[in-house]
Amino acid sequence: MEDKKKLVSPCGVDCGSCLAHTVKEDNNLIIDKLVGLGIKREDIPCKGCRPLEGHCPTINGDCENYECAKEKGVDFCYECGNFPCSKLMPAADRANTLVHNMKMYNLCFIQRHGLDAWLKENPKIKKTYYTGKITYGKGPKCEE
């Protein structure tokens, strides 16, 4: 569990479920695809933003969210006096393939229920995000 905790970024992204982290070293097809997306082969598998002190191979640079949390002396963005800030604002761009729109929900869940509860609930949260159907007034639901 401690390793999984290290893979939750300050902004609420689960680095532990990123394909750049979960890919096995012997899966050349996926590694080649990741390299094609701009990730350096030597950075695969990714260790996560906390172990890499904010360097994120998937953005090919340093993460501003990580740096901000470090400067403010917080483990998670929700601990900051400026929470929520514009760095956490959702955007429609690539919302169907990236987890960036989940950050606010994840941070609020972690703040209210704790990191252990979020780690347990995270698979269901991601399933609902990617496969759920939205109904105004009811929120997203997954068909069982």
Domain count for the chain = 1
Strands (DSSP E) contained in 20-90 are 55-56, 61-62
For residue 88, how many other CB atoms are within 10 A of its CB? 18
pLDDT for residue 6 is more than 60? yes
Structural domain harbouring 6: 2-141
Q: Is the pTM of this model over 0.75?
A: yes
**pLDDT tens digit sequence for 72-115:** 999 999 999 999 999 998 888 887 777 778 899 999 999 999 99
How far from chain centre, in Å, is Cα 16?
8
